[in-house]
Structure 1
Amino acid sequence: MIEKIKSIKNIAVFKNFNWDSEVKDKEGNIRDFKKINIIYGRNYSGKTTLSRIIRALETGYISDKYETPECCISISGSNDISQENFDSHNKTIRVFNEDFIKENLKFIFDPEENIQPFAILGSDNAKIEAEIKLLNGKLGLNEEDNKTGLFLELENIKNAYGTAVKVHNTAIDSLTGQLSNKATNNPNGIKYQSQKFGDQNYTITKLKDEIAIVKQEDFKPISDDEKINLETILNEKAKDIIPGLTELVLSFNTITKTSKDLITRKIGQSNKIEDLLKNAVLNRWVKEGKDLHKNKLEKCAFCDNEIGDERWKELDKHFDEESDKLESEIIAHLKKIATEESLISSTSGIKRASFYSKFHSEVDDLTALFDKALKDYESSLKSLKSQLNQRKEDILNEKKFEEATDCSSQIISLRSQFNQLRNDSNEYSEKLSSEQKKAKDNLRLREIYDFIDLIEYDKQMSNIGTLKVSLDQEKNKKNAKQKEVDDILIEIASKQRELKDESKGADKVNEYLNNYFGHDFLTLKAIEFDDEETGNVQYRFEVHRDNKKAYHLSLGETSLIAFCYFMAKLQDIDTKTKKPIIWIDDPISSLDSNHIFFIYSLINTQIFGEEEFEQLFISTHNLNFLKYLKRLPGARAKTKCEQFTLERIDDHSTIALMPSYIWEYVTEFNYLFNQIYKCSTIDRVDDNNYTTFYNFGNNARKFLEIFLYYKYPDSSDDSTKMKKFFGDDDIPAVLTDRINNEYSHLSGVFERGATIVEVPEMHKAAKLILEKIKKDTDQYESLLKSIGVELITEEE
């Protein structure tokens, strides 16, 4: 479907129209064409101009009378169409406007001319010879250095295709050269760096295959650190076998159990000196003094007093054999702990240098864990030693044992892991060559990954893809143009063998004339004649009245025949079954109200009844016809139908959404009232609203004529009715009469046409008219509603 006419410049009254800035709803949303589109515009507002733009999509060209015309049309499923390529779409377009009439019904303008014949499906005739001539003209000459028509177009397209091939091949050759250099160039190609990348028979085919690998989503190139490690692996030689670690036996459980016993062991409390029990320092001091004095001194070296036998007995009972034994055991156990500490301090893991570089990271991790475990083990031993020394200093009083962390199993486990890593390293010696091959593969893929980034491989491939699309497009154009030429040649041959009866085309027109309009006295006849050039029987259409060729047709008769001809032509062999986009431009010109209804009926039954159209546009200046159009099937469905108006301001026009009051209340009376209401509400005149004042005279005159005719349906003149309406005060009536006559007819004051209008007078007159109408509240409120305005009461 046609979505929008995006822009129009320098085409008749459309000077610089832009759809997206003009065709918006109240919320500012851009609205597009729909399946059914109704366009209302007063005369000279640009309806026929729009139809000519759309007809250019049908004919492939627009009138050369327009100076530098520009337009852009958006069609769904196709690139935008401009004045440069009207025929670059695949839609079937059928437009009814005055250009269609001039081209197909020449008798209207020259009675000696005929109507262009056409064939309904299944019937054809003399039109074929004219078509053959037209087709030959379209083909042109096919002489060397003197080609014309389609043969010239085909040659130009072939040249363009050759250029596209060359550009595409150049891009491919450039990328291929870069890939070839990377794969096989000496000395920097992958092939010549086998010591690093591992393949002495590397080719560009292998490079392309591996580019596909590194471009896969799940591919992850090696990091810079991994790259350094792999390069180190390539330089490694086989290492000596790493010997196993000596067995390490730790006694933490035994040491802990013994320590707990010694620290918590109780000493008998009978015959003890209470003061010494309470003071460990004093107790130690007395014990050392006893050892220094007994059997050595008779007097105390500290106080110089004699130590009696009784005192010696008390001291012997206090420092008995049980406490001495405990102290001896603590001292002995502390020596065992010291031995365990020496064992731990001399324990070590495996030297890093003994391993291959690939294991260095694991060795470093294990070494760190092992060193920490040893320190934790030493710390646990120190904790036990501290508790034992505290008990030794206070031998008579048992202590609460504080558990120490046992790290021995972790140390053993880590040593086991060291051994496993040693085994892995020893086994690695046997598969070093295969690991180095893997390293070369990974380094090569990383090199390719960096290479395609450096040469912007994706960008080049995208460009090649774009050039391929252009190449294919040029190829398709070439093939299509070749096919077009071939098809025309076939068609010419076919048409030369076949004639079609075109009399049925005339019968279809007569069917519409008779069935819808009752014009059985006016008919279209297919007249047979012999073509002098070809000798074949041909037909031409003539309008007959009373079995004679008709002359001096009225405007109404020509309008009816023209529209019936168009409707019948929608059934011809070039249109039927092709779901055309149909544009009908103001089909009711010079027709009375009965014929207007019949035109509507014909559209309703033949177009909507068949439903064989993709999209429909109907434009009109006639509000009565617009009233019928809103009855069309789907016209009330917002998803199927859109309504537009053409608004002309001075010498330029624009397209806008149709105001709801025009669509909902389709009478000229409502429209005229709306113009007067607008004039009464505008305080400041600008480029957007000055036409409301410019046209006020005509609008007010016609409104008052209609309004006063029904208000005073007698034979009194307009001035009398004006005075009745405005009351005894002559000033409003005189003022209004002056505006209505002078500004609408330039009544006796022709110089008025050379000056701008007096806006205050218009504004005042509009308000006076509304004030008088307001006296009938019901009518005034109804008129306001008809133009989408709510009545504001004084309370509000």
Structure 2
Amino acid sequence: MIKKIKFIGNLAVFKDFVWDNEAYDSNGNIETFKDINIIYGRNYSGKTTLSRILRGMETGKLSEKFENPSFKVVFADGTEITESILTQHGKKIRVFNEDFVRENLRFIVNPDDNIESFAILGEKNNKIEKEIEELESKLGTNEEGEETGLYAELREASKDFKNAKQDYESANDALSKQLSEKATDKNIGIKYRPERFGDQNYNIQKLQKDIEKVRDTNYKPPKDEQIIQSENLITEKTLQPVSPFFAPSLNFSALVIEAESFITKKISESEKIEELVKDAVLNRWVKEGRIYHKEKRNKCAFCGNPITEDRWLKLEKHFDKESEQLEKNIDALINKIEKEKSIVSSALSINKALFYSKFHGKLDELNNNLKEAVDNYTKSLDLMIDKLKNRKSDILNQKSFVRPDDTSGDLLFAWNSYEAIRSESDGFSTSLSSQQTIAKEALRIKEVSDYLLIIQYEERFSSIEKLKAKLEKVEHRKNQIKGEIHLKEERILSLRRKLSDEERGADKVNEYLNNFFGHSFLSLEAQKNKMVGEGSKQICYEITRDGKKAYHLSEGECSLIAFCYFIAKLNEIDTKNSKPIIWIDDPVSSLDANHIFFVYSLINAEIVSKKRFEQLFVSTHDLNFLKYLRRLCGKYVSVNGKEKDYQKCYFVVVRYGNASTICKMPKYLKEYATEFNYLFQQIHKCAEIDVVNDTNYTTFYNFANNARKFLEIYLYYKYPDKGMSDDTLRCFFGEKMIPAILTDRINNEYSHCAVLERGATPIEVPEMQAAARLIIERLKRDREQYSSLLRSIGEDKVPEMQE
């Protein structure tokens, strides 16, 4: 059942219409469509436009004349239909409007054309009917809430599907929401931390791809030191190139050879003082004393005895040039070794600040290795120094020499490693950006991995997959049942077509024409006039009068035939035994009062009384027909088996300028539907308006015609011997001539537009309102009638009389 036309954006006279802003009662409650819906609207107000929305939902297309149309129709089950999905409602809809007439009864436009035929059930065929009965028995009934057979199975399967879908969507939506928040939420979203995660355009689709990487079996979360390294890397700025390191030359081998030669050198023993040779300490003491005494003292500073020439000669021969030269050579070699130590110790100092953090770990390791290599090299040099000093202290005696370890290779390896790291660091500047991108991605994937653990993604994903599998299973079951129902329905239609008789469609139309309208002289005749296959012809209808094809039908006759055709078409195979949504648009155009009643009777007898509808809409511009429509009533059997009255609702379509709206029908139209009431309401409205604006100015443009028609009716009943004339106007208003003359001018000049100048001149609102107030004041003299008129238009409070 249709609940409301929620929105009409741009469709003919409807511009941005919103149901909830317009269709409400006096208490502000939103009205909705009911079982039977009566819609009143004056010509050109937009009634046919509304029917075209439903016609589009029936045929699947809207008129191409509409430019950028938009609307939304809401059903009671929540289904929403728009201009882009016209037929996705699953309902049978039948619409009677001018488009239906134009498409099916083309003779109205072209008298030489025919009428489309339709098929209804023909003569009995027991075998076919038995098969149809069996199929219908398996299908069961499709009454809402009372389904049986396959329809009941479909209802249960649909319910299971709805529950499974709700469970799946609820779980999936909850997980999707959390993932969406992680992707784009301002507080926790990856998108808003591009400085760490590297993508300011991050979204849920990219998060899904990252989740796939995390769930890959080859993925291993980075360790803490790797995370720290990545965090340091993403903050790096491009560094200046590091100056190259030039390793000094090492002389270890040469120094060893020279040291060995000095330490193992043998001094000549001739003319040596044996005592001093045997005692190196004493020899050193004498040597130092010799230097202290020579050419300075003649006596020993220790014992006070004189030093003889012979003693000086022996000392000179003992401390000869060879030993002195060896000492000098040893001292020189020690200096060279110390210089070597100094060069090695100060050759390379590692400054990590000059390097990217990526290389700090390598540099730390290298620095340790370098220190160790320098220490080992220095120790080897110190061993040589110790050996040399030992020989110097006992210069006269030859010493053995053990070669120290040569660790120069370790030192050279450390220096070469530094140079390799330096070159790699300088080269890294060119790839810094790409390396930072890789580091940010690693941090992002780790962030996603941690988040999945927090929200228990794997457990929930597994649960959702099970719910999805269940949904697919119940959906398959539902579709299976639906397919089985469709096949059986198609089979039934196929069988009924075998029983169908297109000629009986014409008989049904003639039945309505004769029984309801008494038009026996007009009838529909079935004609076989078009070849559609091998020897078969298509049947179409044509209008005959007295056995001959009828031409020059009146507008009223066309309207009667068209409406009878529509009602008869409800008996065709595709519609019979179903309850469609029916929309009947203004079916009494150009009909006299007697035929208007028969149209109402046909609707009541063939649609309402026979309960052949799910929902009924009837629109009209005719107040007399509206009066009859108020009588439409009927009962239906509810789910609990009890009879209930159809609910009815009344609406009006009102046009303000170039735009129309749908409102709840006012009480005076709903309960007192006569033109006389309506005309009085328009005069009363004109008299009561305080400010003229775009929403009410049409009241003044229509006032002249409304007032003239009202006075004609009112004065005819008040003065039946005179009708409306200057005399009756004077009688009505009294002997004061001005009101009568003023009213007569408005009633005649403004309502008939006698001259071109009148039509080209704007309406003078004060004259209209003055005349309206004069009429109202005159009516107030008959208090009882005036009070009744006010009540008939929904005005409960009767104002005090004015003198």
TM-score (norm 1): 0.56
Tell me if the contact between 1:524 and 1:542 (Cα under 8 Å) persists in the aligned partners: yes
Q: Which residue number corresponds to residue 673 of structure 1?
A: 680
Q: Is the 8 A contact 1:522 1:546 kept in 2?
A: yes
Query: 2:572 aligns to what?
Result: 572
Q: Which amino acid in 2 is paired with 1:554?
A: S
Deviation at 1:715, TM superposition (A): 3.7
Write the mapping of 1:180-579 to structure 2, written as runs, cut at 5 A: 181=217, 452-454=453-455, 456=457, 500-529=500-529, 531=531, 533-579=533-579
The Cα offsets for residues 151-193 of structure 1, whole Å up to 9 and x where unpaired, read as: xxxxxxxxxxxxxxxx999999976765565xx976899xxxx
The root-mean-square deviation of aligned C-alpha atoms, in Å, is 4.1
User: Tell me, which stretches of 5 or more residues in structure 2 are unaligned?
Assistant: 125-175, 177-203, 224-448, 636-643
Residue 794 (structure 2) pairs with residue 788 (structure 1) = yes
Aligned match of 2:695: 688
Aligned residues of 2:716 and 2:722 also touching (Cα < 8 A): no
2:120 partner SS: coil
Cα distance in 1 for residues equivalent to 2:77 and 2:657:
37
Equivalent position to 2:765, from 753, 759, 769: 759
Q: CA deviation at 1:457?
A: 5.7
Structure 1 position 699, deviation (Å): 1.1
In the alignment, is residue 26 of structure 1 matched against residue 32 of structure 2?
no
The answer to whether the Cα contact below 8 Å between 2:93 and 2:581 also exists between their aligned partners in 1 is yes
C-alpha contact 1:171 1:464 (8 A) present in aligned 2: no
Range moving further from structure 2, 76-85 or 503-512: 76-85
2:716–2:724 CA contact under 8 A, matched in 1: no
**Distance in 1, Cα, partners of 2:606 & 2:492:** 33
Aligned to 1:698: 705
**Offset of residue 703 of structure 1:** 0.8
Q: Taking structure 1 as reference, are residues 494 and 29 closer, same or farther at Cα in structure 2, changes over 3 Å only?
A: closer
**Aligned match of 2:330:** none
Partner in structure 2 of residue 7 of structure 1 = 7
Q: How many Å separate the matches in 2 of 1:743 and 1:473?
A: 71
Report deviation, 1:38: 0.1
In the TM superposition, residue 634 of structure 1 has moved relative to its aligned partner by 5.1
In structure 2, do the counterparts of structure 1 residues 532 and 648 end up closer, same or farther at CA, with 3 Å as the change threshold? Answer: closer
Say if 1:123 and 1:503, in contact at 8 Å, map to a contact too. Answer: no
- When normalised by structure 2's length, the TM-score is 0.55
Q: CA deviation at 1:792?
A: 2.6
**1:675 offset after TM fit, Å?**
0.9
Structure 1 counterpart SS, 2:542: strand
Please, which of 716, 719, 730 is the counterpart of residue 723 of structure 1?
Answer: 730
Q: 1:519 to 1:13 in 2, by over 3 A?
A: same
Is the 2:712–2:723 contact (alpha carbons within 8 Å) kept by the matching residues of 1? no
Measure, in 2, the Cα distance between the counterparts of 1:767 and 1:506: 56
| Aligned 8 A contact 1:531 1:537 in 2 | yes
Does structure 1 retain, via aligned residues, the 8 Å contact 2:711–2:724? no
Shift of 1:626: 0.6
| Residue equivalent to 2:741 | 734
1:590 is matched by which residue type in structure 2? S
User: How big is the shift at 1:9?
Assistant: 2.3
Separation of aligned partners in 1, 2:706 and 2:459: 67
Aligned mate of 1:659, from 643, 666, 688: 666
Q: Are the equivalent residues in 2 in contact too, given 1:123–1:504 (CA < 8 A)?
A: no
2:780 aligns with one of 774, 777, 781: 774
Q: Name the count of aligned residue pairs.
A: 490
1:273-331 Cα distance to aligned partner (Å, 9 max, x none): xxxxxxxxxxxxxxxxxxxxxxxxxxxxxxxxxxxxxxxxxxxxxxxxxxxxxxxxxxx
Q: How does 1:34-45 map to 2 (within 5 A)?
A: 34-45=34-45
Q: Classify 1:708/1:607 alpha carbon distance in 2 versus 1 (closer, same or farther; 3 Å).
A: same
Q: Are the equivalent residues in 2 in contact too, given 1:51–1:583 (CA < 8 A)?
A: yes
1:29-68 equivalence runs, <5 A: 29-68=29-68
Amino acid in the other structure paired with 1:621: H
Residue identity matched to 1:27:
N
Partner Cα distance (2:497, 2:774) in 1: 77
CA-to-aligned-CA distance 1:661-696 (integer Å, 9 cap, x gap) = 111111111111111111111111123222222211
CA distance in 1, matches of 2:64, 2:613: 30
Instruction: Show structure 1 runs of 5+ residues with no match.
Output: 125-166, 190-447
Instruction: Show the counterpart of 2:314.
Output: none
| Contact 1:71 1:83 (8 Å CA) reproduced | yes
Relative distance call for 1:712 and 1:187 in structure 2 (3 A) is closer
Task: Give per-residue Cα distances to partners, 1:572-591, cap 9 Å, x unaligned.
Answer: 11111221000000111111
Give the counterpart letter for 1:607 in structure 2: I
- For residues 175 and 764 of structure 1, the distance between their equivalents in structure 2, rounded to whole angstroms, comes to 79
Matched, 1:92 2:127: no
Counterpart amino acid of 1:598? Answer: F
Which of residues 636, 639, 644 in structure 1 aligns to 2:651? 644
2:211 and 2:220 map into 1 onto residues whose CA distance is 18
What is the Cα deviation at residue 791 of structure 1?
1.1
Aligned 8 A contact 2:686 2:699 in 1: yes
Q: Following TM superposition, by how much is the alpha carbon of 1:540 offset from its aligned partner in structure 2, in angstroms?
A: 1.4
Aligned-pair CA distance for 1:530? 5.9
* Residue 71 to residue 450, structure 1, CA distance change in 2 (3 Å): closer
Share of identical aligned residues, percent?
53
1:3–1:32 Cα contact (<8 Å) kept: yes
TM-fit CA distance, 1:528: 2.8
> Match for residue 74 of structure 1?
74
Q: Are 2:213 and 2:219, in contact at CA under 8 Å, matched by a contact in 1?
A: no
Partner in structure 2 of residue 103 of structure 1: 103
Name the counterpart of 1:713: 720
2:51/2:97 contact within 8 Å kept:
yes
Question: In the TM superposition, what whole-angstrom CA distance separates every residue of 1:447-483 from its partner, at most 9, and x where no partner exists?
Answer: x998543465688679979999999999999999999
- Check the 8 A contact 2:6/2:72 in 1, yes or no: yes
Q: Name the CA shift for 1:773/1:185 in 2 (closer, same or farther; >3 Å).
A: closer
CA contact (8 A) 1:634 1:641 kept: no
Question: What does the per-residue CA deviation read over 1:384-406, in whole Å, with 9 as the maximum and x for residues that have no partner?
Answer: xxxxxxxxxxxxxxxxxxxxxxx
CA deviation digits over 1:580-607, x for unaligned, max 9?
A: 0000001111111111111111111111
The 8 Å contact of residues 123 and 502 in structure 1, kept in 2 or not, is answered as no
Distance 2:38 2:493 in 1: 44
> Partners in 2 of 1:492 and 1:778 — Cα distance?
64
Q: Does the Cα contact within 8 Å between 2:532 and 2:538 map onto a contact in 1?
A: no
Conserved? CA contact 2:582–2:613, under 8 Å: yes
Q: Which amino acid aligns with 2:736?
A: D
Give the CA deviation at 1:36.
Answer: 0.5
Equivalent of 2:750 in 724, 743, 751: 743
Query: Using the alignment, how far apart are the partners of 2:754 and 2:494 within structure 1?
Result: 68
Q: Which moved more, 1:663-672 or 1:170-179?
A: 170-179
**Residues 780 and 501 (structure 1), Cα distance of their counterparts in 2 relative to 1, 3 Å cut:** same
Q: Closer, same or farther in 2 for the Cα pair 1:669/1:532, shift >3 Å? A: closer
Q: Could you tell me how far apart the structure 1 residues matched to 2:742 and 2:457 are? A: 80
Quick one: distance in 2 between partners of 1:535 and 1:582? 38
Cα displacement (A) at 1:717: 5.5
Distance 1:772 1:451, change over 3 A: closer
Structure 1 residues 36, 503: CA separation in 2 closer, same or farther (over 3 Å shift)?
Answer: same
Following the alignment from structure 1 to structure 2, what is the Cα–Cα distance between the partners of residues 465 and 732? 85
Contact 1:517–1:598 (CA under 8 A) maintained in structure 2: yes
Post-superposition Cα deviations, 1:232-266, rounded to whole Å, max 9, x if no partner, equal xxxxxxxxxxxxxxxxxxxxxxxxxxxxxxxxxxx
Q: Secondary structure at the match of 2:74?
A: strand
Distance in 1 of aligned mates of 2:750 and 2:606: 46
Tell me, in whole angstroms, the C-alpha distance in 1 between the residues paired with 2:17 and 2:621: 21
